[in-house]
Structure 1
Amino acid sequence: MSLLLNARAPQGPRVAAEWRRRLASKAVVREGGKGELAEQSSESSLECGATEKRLSGTGSRPDTSSLNAEIRRVFDEPAYWKRHYVTAKTGVPTGLFGYPEFSSPEGLVGLLGSMSAEEQVAHSATVLKILDQLSDTLCQVLDAAELVRTVHPDERVVDAAVEAMHDLTTYMNQLNTHTGLYERYAMSGMLVWGRTETRTLLGPNSHTRFALQATKRIVDDRKAAEKLTKAEQGVAKIFLADFEKSGIHLSASQRRRFVDLSQRILILGQSFQIGAHPDSTHIVVSPATKLGGLPGQFRSSVVTRSGLFGRSDSAKVPLSIGGAVLKHVEDVEVRRDVYKSLHTSSKQQLDTLEELLSTRMELAKLLGKQSYAHLFLTDKMVRTPGAVMWRIHGELNEREGEELEALADLDVIRRSKQRDLGTASLPALHGWDRDYYTRLAVAEQSERTGGGVSAGYLSEYFSIGTVFEGLSQLFSRLYGIAFVPEPVRLGEVWHEEVRKFLVVDVGEDGNHSAARPRATLYCDLFHRPGKNCGPSHYTVRCSRRVDDD
């Protein structure tokens, strides 16, 4: 297999480049101009990451098998990625994600001023369109800032992202509690709900009587409602729900309190997320020989008095390798200490959680809800906490009997522990036993069946590159989309290990010659110091129609 990959290696960059040329050559036909070649809008070009000039013509069909090999190499060979896909380190930075405003920390903070100024500009479009544009812009910046806050290695950029998020969230909450904006929205004929439903939403003690009266007049005017498409009516209802959920019916002082509480919840939530780590960073093991079973690749992380593993009375074990300790170390006391340390939070973290929960409850009470769960689920599919619990109990009833299978699996692990300890009866399982005895049970089963596939072999086979290659092939068959490696421009990503792909539409019939770009995917999948190790997914920008703005 490796020989085959090496034989195809010279084709790789040319194949990916051919895909990008094919994508760049797609003409965008303006309405009323058949066959006219046009530049894509700046929104579309940025979303797709297409930097080359649009060309006419179709060209030849790219080699799909070579493209799959290219996907593997992009992930599995770091030097190959840097040589063919990372641009020069000199020049004018393009800004994170291609946003020029994200070229510096100051640019992040300065976005609020430009967005506020944009709101003041007179616009000839409907209020609904204006709100949709404003909401889209806010979400773009907030989502991007949240990602930057989480993954960027530069503390100055992280601090700027946090400041931008706080300012923009305050701004958004102020808009959602702005009675003038709400009244303008109502007067523009955007509300199409019936009288009874509107009155119920606003409540008997509404402080926006003018908006209520305007809404009633508009609902009576069937002509105004008929001018709205079903899509516009749906968007209008969503915006109305946002206003109501933000307490537009409250008094001025209560609305200010809503903004303050919402901002406090954001800050506490971020603090809780940042502090979501064990109270300590390491444990001390004495004697160091109790670390028997720890694989060699983890021993360099262990600090002993003499600097040599196993030759000292004590060893300092970082919790960053706690998973390996729980899986491999034979000594039960060491595993127990690591497990408890990994699951022990600091008092400050507990205090933050308590304040977060109490602030959420205060916000819910302010809006007339029984709890924050009731408030959060108001516009969700299940609507109420009771419905959630009903669904959970329903799932448990449907799966009645499956718990016996789960208990049987636990018994396999318990028997592994029994054999290890030499006890007459099945011993109890603790949290620090699970990984260790699961590994032993799998090894024992493999021996009984005459070999089998080891976990190490599977991990080696399922490299990141192999997995992404498989995903691209799977999505191509199921949904008609595929991944195409894309070079990163200077300043576009936050770390040189981040890979960039175009998500292209290859058509339901698999016609790759008609591929069209649909999205850009940034992949930050490799470990580095200071990076959050948990899996996560961020949407930097959603799709939105822009040709009729």
Structure 2
Amino acid sequence: MADFVRSTHPDDSWRQAATEAYAMLFEFMNVLNTTPDLKIRLESALGDPKVAAGWNSEENMVAQILLRDFSKSAIDLPDGKRRAFVDLSNRISQLGTKFIKDMRPELSSISFQHRQLRDIDPLVLQHATGRHLTGISIPTVGPVAVTALRSMKDEAARQKLYIAGRTAPKAQLQTLQDFLQTRAKVANLSGYRSYAEMNLSDKLAQSPAAVNSFLLALSKDNELQTRQEMEEMLLMKKSEQGDGDPSVQIEAWDRDYYQAQQANKQRSRSRRPDFMSAYFSLGTVMQGLSRLFTQVYGVRFEPAPISPGEVWDPDVRRLDVMDENEGRIAVLYCDLFARPGKSPNPAHFTLRCSRRIPPSEIKEASVLHSNLDPMQVINDGMAISHNASSNTTYQLPTIALICDFEQPPSAAHAHAHPEPTLLSFRNVQTLFHEMGHAIHSILGRTAHQVVSGTRCATDFAELPSVLMEHFAADAHVLALFARHWQTDAPLPYDMVAERLAIERRGQGVETEQQILLAMLDQAYHSHLPLTITMPGGGGFDSTTVLQDVWDRYGSVREPRETSAQGFFGHLVEYGGTYYSYLFDRAIAGKVWQEVFAGGRDGAAVRREGGQRFRDEVLRWGGSRDGWKCLAGLLRDERLRDGGPEAMAEVGKWGVKG
């Protein structure tokens, strides 16, 4: 909740208070995780057959999760070292916040001669930072820089901009070094050889060796496509230069440019302008998601009235999620429009997790607050449901879905028909992705909130959301809602097929970049940060490590002048688990083919696949081992126990399509 408020609330005083609350709660959790009496009582319960025998599988899972949290927190060490653990953990939080806050290049802008920028759209150059007689200054990061790297024919100019945009200040690199070394110290204090080993102990991967087996298998699967894409770019570069120089090769600053040229050629061959957004008004997309979930999972969205003070911004809308058998099962707040001070990053926040409210808790509330409704006391007046047949009461998941869509300008005349919010196809994919997280929280049915919905292993949490991106591109799914906002004509699917074909160009190179970043994440969270002497002399240097990863596994060398790790903000959140998105992409592709038949013959909108996915994955949240979920879902017993072999098998599936 505090994380949500600090990222989203329009009032700066609320955001500041939430930031302070988040820091306090973070420290409090570290104190709890280093309180020996809690661990002693838990171990005593686990060791007592009379107690443990009465626990079901979910309760046992919760107990194991708590034990792992204790083991990560140096709880068995003397008081002084436990205090050191709390201090180091708090320092990690502070350094991580500083690293994210200070992510900016050493040079905010650089100058180019007018002729070097002649290939860039003049409308884009209007946002340049400065103009003078000899040239134009443009920012080194941001939309203008991205467009420039994709447009500038002058290779020297591209090289200059690429290097500047990927060179971080020395102070930022020092913050990163302190951050990584502090994490390594915490891991060592907790009895682990590295931070990655500590952080992976409760993930599907379980160990750095298993992650590396996955990444190497995935790299091998991706190698042929990457090579073909690089050869196509090289042919384009040689053709453009026309001097027959055999030493010409694709450099790091060439990739975006030649990929953009390839995409432009493909668009020009289609000879048709892209008007897809006219078929994706926000209201119809939300209606389409409701229709999809009705057919696949048996749940729908119903607009619900909002009480005074219930929401944080007038544009927020509330939807109640209704199950065809159980009635209301969740509350969804949609905060979908951009506004000043709001984080631009799309996100899903579970403000209140699902859990079962036991009769003993209701009875206790009745005794302690005899003049109040016990359910109001227990649940702060938020949504609950009661199943009379099973006599069970659930605290319903309460979810905020955050996007950054631009609202259309108001109609020029009072009588004009207002234009709805129209989404690009990428926006639609984003909304489907975030709704995949939401449906995980909505359909999770667990007794304990700590394993509810998305509160599962980090490397399993992206599966439902990535799978939803496959639905977003399916013809039968789009037929549920994609209609022109003015004419009501259905979307011609060949427009989508053309877009997907363009997006797939360069997928091999893009996947390679993600593999390299995942490998870098593993290296940074290995034993290396505390290494006094590295090969070649000197202590740990994050730039040297990055260059080594790219030299060994990349198809293009990273320029020696850069220090792109200073912008790798995901290091803070993921810490040894950046491979997770690639991992879940590979699994989602397999699930799409095996469970939903790749969308063939309308399989994407039939209950059979949805019920199977709901029963084997969604309803469990984190209360069941993810490998067992996958083994049941894909009917492949080889996956049930996980380990390096299972990780490598997933890597062989690849991330195509």
- Normalising by the smaller structure, the TM-score range is 0.5 to 0.7
Deviates more, 1:241-250 or 1:414-423: 414-423
Q: State how far apart, in whole Å, the 2-side matches of 1:242 and 1:313 are.
A: 60
For 1:541, give the aligned amino acid.
R
Q: CA deviation at 1:539?
A: 3.2
Q: State how far apart, in whole Å, the 2-side matches of 1:262 and 1:153 are.
A: 30
- Contact 1:481 / 1:503 at 8 angstroms: preserved in 2? no
Q: CA deviation at 1:328?
A: 2.5
Note closer, same or farther for the CA distance 1:345–1:303 as it changes in structure 2 (3 Å cut).
closer
Question: Given the alignment of the two structures, is residue 479 of structure 1 paired with residue 287 of structure 2, yes or no?
Answer: no
1:520 to 315, 327, 332: 332
After superposition, the C-alpha distances for 1:495-532 in whole angstroms (9 at most, x for unaligned) are 566x4352623539xxxxx8634231434464x66665
Note closer, same or farther for the CA distance 1:480–1:297 as it changes in structure 2 (3 Å cut).
farther
Q: State how far apart, in whole Å, the 2-side matches of 1:228 and 1:169 are.
A: 29
Question: Given the alignment of the two structures, is residue 428 of structure 1 paired with residue 249 of structure 2, yes or no?
Answer: yes
SS at match of 2:330: strand
- Contact 1:191 / 1:237 at 8 angstroms: preserved in 2? no
Q: State how far apart, in whole Å, the 1-side matches of 2:126 and 2:313 are.
A: 26
Q: CA deviation at 1:461?
A: 5.2
Q: Give the structure 1 partner of residue 322 of structure 2.
A: 505
Q: CA deviation at 1:350?
A: 0.8
After superposition, the C-alpha distances for 1:432-470 in whole angstroms (9 at most, x for unaligned) are 3222222222333444x5x3555x445665566665554
- Contact 2:109 / 2:129 at 8 angstroms: preserved in 1? no
Q: State how far apart, in whole Å, the 1-side matches of 2:340 and 2:119 are.
A: 25
Q: State how far apart, in whole Å, the 2-side matches of 1:436 and 1:182 are.
A: 56
For 1:157, give the aligned amino acid.
W
Q: State how far apart, in whole Å, the 2-side matches of 1:299 and 1:413 are.
A: 26
Q: State how far apart, in whole Å, the 2-side matches of 1:278 and 1:485 are.
A: 45
For 1:191, give the aligned amino acid.
L
Q: Give the structure 2 partner of residue 145 of structure 1.
A: 2
- Contact 1:374 / 1:385 at 8 angstroms: preserved in 2? yes
Question: Given the alignment of the two structures, is residue 302 of structure 1 paired with residue 113 of structure 2, yes or no?
Answer: no
SS at match of 2:317: strand
Q: Give the structure 2 partner of residue 80 of structure 1.
A: none
- Contact 1:502 / 1:520 at 8 angstroms: preserved in 2? yes
Q: Give the structure 2 partner of residue 170 of structure 1.
A: 27
Q: Give the structure 2 partner of residue 259 of structure 1.
A: 86
Q: CA deviation at 1:392?
A: 2.5
Q: State how far apart, in whole Å, the 2-side matches of 1:162 and 1:464 are.
A: 32
Q: CA deviation at 1:345?
A: 1.5
Q: State how far apart, in whole Å, the 2-side matches of 1:474 and 1:431 are.
A: 42
- Contact 1:292 / 1:331 at 8 angstroms: preserved in 2? no
Q: Give the structure 2 partner of residue 284 of structure 1.
A: 111
Q: State how far apart, in whole Å, the 1-side matches of 2:165 and 2:298 are.
A: 43
Q: CA deviation at 1:163?
A: 1.7
After superposition, the C-alpha distances for 1:479-501 in whole angstroms (9 at most, x for unaligned) are 2334455566666555566x435
Note closer, same or farther for the CA distance 1:496–1:313 as it changes in structure 2 (3 Å cut).
farther
What is the correspondence of 1:357-396 to structure 2 with a 5 Å cutoff?
357-396=180-219
Q: Give me the CA root mean square deviation.
A: 3.2
- Contact 2:299 / 2:324 at 8 angstroms: preserved in 1? yes
SS at match of 2:356: coil
What is the correspondence of 1:36-435 to structure 2 with a 5 Å cutoff?
144-152=1-9, 154-186=11-43, 190-192=45-47, 218=48, 222-285=49-112, 287-305=113-131, 312-318=133-139, 319-320=141-142, 321-397=144-220, 399=221, 402-424=222-244, 427-435=248-256
Q: State how far apart, in whole Å, the 1-side matches of 2:236 and 2:277 are.
A: 24
Note closer, same or farther for the CA distance 1:154–1:335 as it changes in structure 2 (3 Å cut).
farther
After superposition, the C-alpha distances for 1:275-326 in whole angstroms (9 at most, x for unaligned) are 23333332222x33432232243233124447xxxxx423232333211222
TM-score normalised by structure 2 residue count: 0.49
SS at match of 2:352: coil
What is the correspondence of 1:20-35 to structure 2 with a 5 Å cutoff?
none
Q: State how far apart, in whole Å, the 1-side matches of 2:231 and 2:266 are.
A: 14
- Contact 1:374 / 1:384 at 8 angstroms: preserved in 2? yes
- Contact 1:288 / 1:304 at 8 angstroms: preserved in 2? no
For 1:408, give the aligned amino acid.
Q
Q: CA deviation at 1:158?
A: 3.3
1:539 to 341, 346, 350: 350
After superposition, the C-alpha distances for 1:243-298 in whole angstroms (9 at most, x for unaligned) are 2322221111111111111111111112222223333332222x334322322432
Q: State how far apart, in whole Å, the 2-side matches of 1:282 and 1:152 are.
A: 31
Deviates more, 1:240-249 or 1:532-541: 532-541
Unaligned stretches of 5+ in structure 2?
A: 362-657
SS at match of 2:26: helix
Identical amino acids, percent of aligned pairs: 34
Q: CA deviation at 1:371?
A: 0.7
For 2:321, give the aligned amino acid.
V
Deviates more, 1:361-370 or 1:421-430: 421-430
Q: State how far apart, in whole Å, the 1-side matches of 2:314 and 2:138 are.
A: 30
After superposition, the C-alpha distances for 1:314-344 in whole angstroms (9 at most, x for unaligned) are 3232333211222233333333333222212
Q: State how far apart, in whole Å, the 2-side matches of 1:460 and 1:432 are.
A: 35
Q: Give the structure 1 partner of residue 502 of structure 2.
A: none
Deviates more, 1:462-471 or 1:239-248: 462-471
Note closer, same or farther for the CA distance 1:430–1:477 as it changes in structure 2 (3 Å cut).
farther
- Contact 1:472 / 1:482 at 8 angstroms: preserved in 2? yes
Count of residue correspondences: 357
After superposition, the C-alpha distances for 1:56-89 in whole angstroms (9 at most, x for unaligned) are xxxxxxxxxxxxxxxxxxxxxxxxxxxxxxxxxx
Q: CA deviation at 1:475?
A: 3.1
- Contact 2:39 / 2:70 at 8 angstroms: preserved in 1? yes
Q: State how far apart, in whole Å, the 2-side matches of 1:477 and 1:461 are.
A: 21
Q: CA deviation at 1:374?
A: 0.9
Q: Give the structure 2 partner of residue 437 of structure 1.
A: 258
Q: State how far apart, in whole Å, the 1-side matches of 2:183 and 2:121 are.
A: 45
TM-score normalised by structure 1 residue count: 0.57
